[in-house]
Chain A
Amino acid sequence: MTNAPDLWAGTAVKAAGITEATATGQAVLSRANIFAMTQDAEDAVLRPADPGAWPHGMRAALACRIACLNDAQVLADHYGAMMGTEHSALANPLDTGADDDLAPLLAFMDKVAARPRDITADDISGLLAAGVSDADIVRLTELNAFLGYQIRLVAGLTLLSEASA
């Protein structure tokens, strides 16, 4: 199983600082297929061929924001490096989006990221009333939900790796 060079360059594995010659690295190697699909999922939510209303730079800025809300600094840096300048203000969790008419969108994203249990039907009907399409609501939610996974995967991998050191 040395023919998987991309495994060690994948976002989650790299962010947690996992290398092959460690106990955690061997566990990761046994799930190489899962880490390859995890990277494919990042590509699909961050850099889709059809981004709908949410361009790639904006997605990266939102990903950076969500990582910040989770105290996931390495991932925040990862997404911050790909967001460009046009949407970079959104990456700051203190930015409410009021200047760009994005307040409902950012409030929704923050709530899904940090307090998903508090989401109600009103949160979705509010976005629809603000003119966001069904498809664009799903796209936003998938981006946020994927990060909910990736951030926790990195957090757990980091703990496991540190406990083996």
Chain B
Amino acid sequence: MTDVIHKFTRTVPTWRPRVAPVSLPDASPEQLDALQVTPSNTKVSDYVLVLAHDPETLKVRSPLFNAIMYDAGGMSRAEREVGAIAASVVNRCIYCAAVHANRHAQLAKDTAVTDAIFATGTSAALGARDRAIFEYALALSKCPSEAGPTHIADLRAAGLDDAEILDLTLSSALFGWANRLMHVLGDPIRNEVSA
């Protein structure tokens, strides 16, 4: 198992399932229906095929995920990604951290924030607003949650309104869910290098 990645990276790894994915030719009508609502329906990933073992949950989870991360208004998409990254750091989900650090860097057109997070982890030196966002999302992601009134006060002092704090709560909580699927049901591995 030497190919499993243990260090945070913005290079998105391959995800290798630890349980057998649903075989598409053998999928039930309900599984096929649930698979259609995933973001990419041209090529179904092993991850989504694993989740298709529970089609009732997959069917509601995909649109919920998209609404929390991408719906208009409220907190910026890049800052929602910081919530996702913080949860992934606490839960050490290398795969989720890579996907969402990569997306943050694209949205923010800057790698400084994710460089700092990956270099120094939970003590990353960030600007005041990103720092308040990151600290709250880290604390909320612990078990039990360590988020407290001072985190909310810090977010408000950094200029976030209630709609933004709600969106941040949703995105970091959502990765309490996503990390527990991705990190539990599979391994992040190095992409195979062609000979």
Contacts and interface: CB of A to CB of B under 8 A. Distances in A.
Interface stretch (A2-10, A84-92, A118-126): A118-126
20 contacts: A27-B162, A27-B166, A31-B71, A37-B60, A40-B60, A44-B57, A52-B54, A69-B144, A114-B143, A117-B93, A117-B183, A134-B20, A134-B53, A145-B176, A146-B177, A151-B173, A156-B166, A159-B151, A160-B152, A163-B156
Given A48-B57, A70-B144, A162-B149, A148 B162 contact: no
Nearest to A152: B173
B169 A112 contact: no
Size class of the contact patch on chain A: 35 or more
Contact of A153 (B53, B67, B169): B169
Interface in B147-192: 147-149, 151-153, 156, 162-163, 165-170, 172-174, 176-181, 183-185, 187
A48 B54 CA distance: 9
A30 B74 contact: yes
Contact of B166 (A40, A155, A157, A162): A157
B193 interface: no
Given A139-B54, A148-B176, A149-B174, 20 more contacts: A27-B166, A34-B67, A41-B61, A44-B60, A48-B54, A49-B56, A112-B180, A114-B143, A117-B90, A134-B53, A135-B53, A141-B180, A145-B176, A148-B180, A155-B147, A156-B169, A160-B152, A160-B166, A163-B149, A163-B152
B195 interface: no
B176 A152 contact: yes
Most A C-beta atoms less than 10 A away, residue of B51, B64, B169, B176: B176
Interface in A90-137: 112-117, 119, 121, 123-125, 128, 134-135, 137
A156 B178 contact: no
Given A69-B143, A142-B57, A124 B181 contact: no
A71 to B, nearest CB: 4
B141 interface: yes
Nearest to B152: A163
Interface in B2-28: 18-20
Interface string B37-69: 000000000000011011011011101100110
A159 B54 contact: no
Given A31-B170, A50-B56, A145 B73 contact: no
Interface of B: 1, 18-20, 50-51, 53-54, 56-57, 59-61, 63-64, 67-68, 71, 73-74, 90-93, 140-141, 143-145, 147-149, 151-153, 156, 162-163, 165-170, 172-174, 176-181, 183-185, 187
A112 B156 CA distance: 32
Contacts of A144: 180
A141 B140 contact: no
Contacts of A112: 180, 184
Contacts of A49: 56
A28 interface: yes
A128 B151 CA distance: 41
A136 to B, nearest CB: 8
B166 A116 contact: no
Nearest to A136: B53
B56 A48 contact: yes
